[in-house]
C-alpha cells in the first residue's frame, strides 16, 4: 500500500488508556479510530491477557499494518501488568557491565512487548541527564556523558530491533537541559549551539540504525526556532533529516501535552509540514484528521503529507509475535543497586524493623505492577527472609522507602522540602535508620542520611533492594560472603 492509498489518518496514532478508561470506552475509542483509518495506537496500562486480546482484535478488524506502541523505558512491565519490569536507564548505566545490561534490557523489552502484540517500543531515552533540576528526565537517561549515552542507547536499540520490535529514540534534539516539564508547558533551552552539540551526539550515534525518532515539545532558540521543535523545519527537516541523515520515521511526542500548544490539531498540521511523519496521541483524532485533510488543499503541504504517509506505511513494523524470554529480573536489578555495606554495620534481622513508605509522587499513579502501599514489598520480602518487621514507631531499626521519580505533570525534579524533612525525621527516630531511595542517586546527598539507591518505583526495584539489604546486612556482620556493595 502506498501513501496515496491511505489517507491522512494513517499518520495519526490514537491513544488507548486501559489505565484510566473503562473497557467499553477503550473499545469504542478503538472502533472510532479504526473507522477513521488511523495508522496505529499507543497503549497505556492493562494486564497482559487483556492487552493481547485487544491488540489481536484491533489487528483483525483493521486488516492492515498498524503501529502498536507503548512507552516501555523500564521494560514492558512499566505499562503492562504481568510482563517483566526492568530498571530505568540510569540504573542500567550503574550495572557492573552497562553495555550488556542495556542490550539485555532492549532484548527482553522487545520480546515481552511482542508477546502481547506491541511492535513499537517507544524507547530508549537518549536525552542527557544534564540538569539536576530537570523535572522529567533524571533516571530516564543513561547519564550526562554524550558518548556513554550514545553507546548504551545504541546497544539498547540494536538488541530491541534484533528481537523484532521497532525502537524509538527520544526526545530529539534533547530534553535534558530543561527545568520545566513539556507535559505542562513549552520549555525553552537557552544553551548555546556549541553546548547543544553534546545533546545531539547520542541521536547522531543512533541515527543510522533506529527505526523511529520522537521530537520534543521544547524550544531551542540556538538551533533555529522559538517554537517547539515539533513544528520547526530547521530542527526536524534540517537537523534530523539533513545533518544527521536520519531516514526512518519521525513521530511527535503526545499532542495532548502542554508543550504542543492549546490547538493540537493545528499544531499537527505544522508538525507534518516541519517533517514529522506520525502524530502521536492527539486530543481528538477526528479533529486532527480533518485539519490535515483541509491543509492538503495546499499543493506543497499535500506533497509533504504524501511523503509522511508513504514513510508511515513502509516503516510500519510487521505484526510479529515472540515467546516470552527466560529471564530473572530481580537478580538483574539487584546488580544496579548502589549502596555501601559498611553503612549497615550493627543491623541485624533480629532487631525489630519498621518499614515506612514516603512518596514525593502523591498526585501521580503507581507503576503498572505495584500492588499495595509503598514499602510493603520491601517489608514483605524481608519478613519472608526472617526479619522481625513491626509497625512500632519505637523500633530499633527503620527503613524508609522513598519514591522520588520523574513523572509527567509532576513539575519538579528534587523531592519536596517537606518530603525530605519527613524522611529525615523517620530515619533519626530509630537507633539505626536507612532510606531506600526509589529515585536518582543524587537525592541521597540532598537527604543527608544513610541510604541506598534503587532508582525507580517498579516492583522489581523494591524486591531487588530487599534482596540487596538482606545480603548486605549479612556481609556487614560477617555471616556470609560477598555483598561488597556498589
Q: Give pLDDT tens digits for 336-383.
A: 999 999 889 999 999 999 999 999 986 544 555 566 789 999 999 999
In whole angstroms, what is the distance from residue 223 CA to residue 192 CA? 8
Please answer whether residues 336 and 92 qualify as being in contact, where contact means their C-beta atoms are separated by less than 8 angstroms: yes
Task: Please give the chain's pLDDT, 486 residues, in tens.
Answer: 455 556 999 999 999 999 999 999 999 999 999 999 999 999 999 999 999 999 999 999 999 999 999 999 999 999 999 999 999 999 999 999 999 999 999 999 999 999 999 999 999 999 999 999 999 999 999 999 999 999 999 999 999 999 999 999 999 999 999 999 999 999 999 999 999 999 999 999 999 999 999 999 999 999 988 899 999 999 999 999 999 999 999 999 999 999 999 999 999 999 999 999 999 999 999 999 999 999 999 999 999 999 999 999 999 999 988 999 999 999 999 999 999 998 899 999 999 999 999 999 865 445 555 667 899 999 999 999 999 999 999 999 999 999 999 999 999 999 999 999 999 999 999 999 999 999 999 999 989 999 999 999 999 999 999 999 999 998 888 754 343 344
What is the enclosing helix (H) or strand (E) of 215?
strand 212-215
What does the pLDDT read at residue 482? 40
Decide if 253 is catalytic.
yes
Decide if 217 is catalytic.
no
Choose, from 175, 183, 217, 440, the residue flagged as catalytic: 183
What is the enclosing helix (H) or strand (E) of 111?
helix 98-115
| 3-state percent breakdown (helix, strand, coil) of the chain, nearest 5 | 45, 15, 40
What does the pLDDT read at residue 224? 85
**Distances in whole angstroms, Cα of residue 235 to Cα of each of 97, 222, 421:** 35, 11, 43
What does the pLDDT read at residue 373? 85
What does the pLDDT read at residue 479? 52
What does the pLDDT read at residue 437? 97
**Distances in whole angstroms, Cα of residue 294 to Cα of each of 12, 231, 327:** 15, 18, 50
What does the pLDDT read at residue 317? 94
What does the pLDDT read at residue 225? 81
What does the pLDDT read at residue 330? 98
What does the pLDDT read at residue 480? 47
**Distances in whole angstroms, Cα of residue 330 to Cα of each of 87, 264, 294, 327, 458:** 10, 41, 52, 9, 11
Given strand 397-404, what is the order of strands in its sheet?
389-390, 353-359, 397-404, 432-439, 451-453
- The β-bridge relationship of strands 451-453 and 120-121 is unpaired
The DSSP secondary structure of 334-396, one letter per residue, reads HTT-B--GGGGTT--TTS-EEEEEEES-TTSPPPTT--SSTTHHHHHHHHHTT--EE--TT-S
In whole angstroms, what is the distance from residue 404 CA to residue 180 CA? 17
- Dihedrals phi, psi of 364, to nearest 5 degrees: -125, 155
Choose, from 129, 253, 264, 467, the residue flagged as catalytic: 253
Q: Residues 207-258: pLDDT tens digits?
A: 999 999 999 999 999 998 889 999 999 999 999 999 999 999 999 999 999 9
What does the pLDDT read at residue 371? 62
Amino acid at each position: 500500500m502506498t501513501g496515496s492509498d491511505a489517507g491522512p489518518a494513517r499518520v495519526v496514532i490514537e491513544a488507548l488508556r486501559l489505565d484510566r478508561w473503562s473497557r467499553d470506552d477503550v473499545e469504542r475509542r478503538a472502533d472510532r479510530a479504526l473507522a477513521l483509518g488511523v495508522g496505529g495506537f499507543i497503549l497505556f496500562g492493562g494486564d497482559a491477557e487483556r492487552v493481547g486480546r485487544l491488540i489481536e482484535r484491533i489487528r483483525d478488524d483493521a486488516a492492515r499494518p498498524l503501529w502498536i506502541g507503548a512507552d516501555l523505558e523500564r521494560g514492558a512491565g512499566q505499562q503492562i501488568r504481568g510482563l517483566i519490569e526492568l530498571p530505568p536507564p540510569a540504573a542500567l548505566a550503574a550495572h557492573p557491565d552497562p553495555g550488556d545490561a542495556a542490550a539485555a534490557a532492549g532484548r527482553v523489552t522487545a520480546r515481552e512487548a511482542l508477546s502481547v502484540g506491541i511492535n513499537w517500543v517507544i524507547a530508549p531515552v537518549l536525552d542527557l541527564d544534564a540538569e539536576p533540576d530537570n523535572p522529567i528526565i533524571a533516571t530516564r537517561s543513561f547519564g550526562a556523558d554524550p558518548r556513554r549515552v550514545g553507546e548504551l542507547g545504541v546497544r539498547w536499540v540494536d538488541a530491541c530491533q534484533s528481537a523484532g520490535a521497532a525502537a524509538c529514540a527520544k526526545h530529539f534534539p534533547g530534553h535534558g537541559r530543561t527545568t520545566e516539564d513539556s507535559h505542562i508547558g513549552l520549555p525553552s533551552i537557552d544553551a548555546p549551539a556549541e553546548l547543544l552539540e553534546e545533546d545531539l551526539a547520542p541521536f547522531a550515534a543512533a541515527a543510522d540504525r533506529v527505526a523511529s525518532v520522537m521530537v520534543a515539545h521544547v524550544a531551542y532558540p540556538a538551533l533555529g526556532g522559538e517554537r517547539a521543535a515539533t513544528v520547526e523545519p530547521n530542527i526536524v527537516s534540517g537537523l534530523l533529516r539533513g545533518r544527521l541523515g536520519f531516514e526512518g520515521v519521525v513521530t511527535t511526542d503526545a499532542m495532548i501535552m502542554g508543550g504542543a500548544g492549546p490547538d493540537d490539531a493545528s499544531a499537527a498540521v505544522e508538525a507534518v509540514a516541519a517533517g514529522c511523519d506520525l502524530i502521536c496521541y492527539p486530543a481528538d483524532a477526528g479533529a486532527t484528521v480533518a485539519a490535515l485533510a483541509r491543509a492538503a488543499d495546499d499543493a506543497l503541504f499535500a506533497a509533504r503529507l504524501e511523503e509522511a504517509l508513504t514513510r508511515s506505511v513502509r516503516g510500519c513494523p510487521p505484526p510479529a509475535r515472540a515467546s516470552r524470554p527466560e529471564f530473572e529480573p530481580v537478580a538483574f536489578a539487584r546488580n544496579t543497586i548502589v549502596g555501601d555495606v559498611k553503612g549497615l554495620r550493627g543491623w541485624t534481622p533480629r532487631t525489630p524493623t519498621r518499614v515506612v513508605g514516603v512518596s514525593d509522587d502523591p498526585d501521580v499513579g503507581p507503576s503498572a505492577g505495584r500492588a499495595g502501599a509503598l514499602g510493603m514489598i520491601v517489608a514483605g520480602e524481608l519478613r519472608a527472609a526472617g526479619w522481625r518487621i513491626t509497625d512500632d514507631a519505637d523500633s530499633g531499626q527503620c527503613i524508609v522507602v522513598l519514591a522520588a521519580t520523574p513523572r509527567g505533570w509532576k513539575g519538579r525534579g528534587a523531592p519536596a522540602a517537606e518530603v525530605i524533612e519527613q524522611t529525615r525525621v523517620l530515619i533519626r527516630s530509630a537507633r539505626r535508620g536507612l532510606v531506600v531511595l526509589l529515585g536518582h542517586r543524587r537525592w541521597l546527598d540532598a537527604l543527608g542520611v544513610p541510604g541506598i539507591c534503587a532508582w525507580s518505583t517498579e516492583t522489581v526495584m523494591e524486591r531487588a533492594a530487599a534482596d540487596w539489604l538482606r545480603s548486605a546486612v549479612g556481609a556487614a556482620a560477617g555471616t556470609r560472603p560477598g555483598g561488597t556493595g556498589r
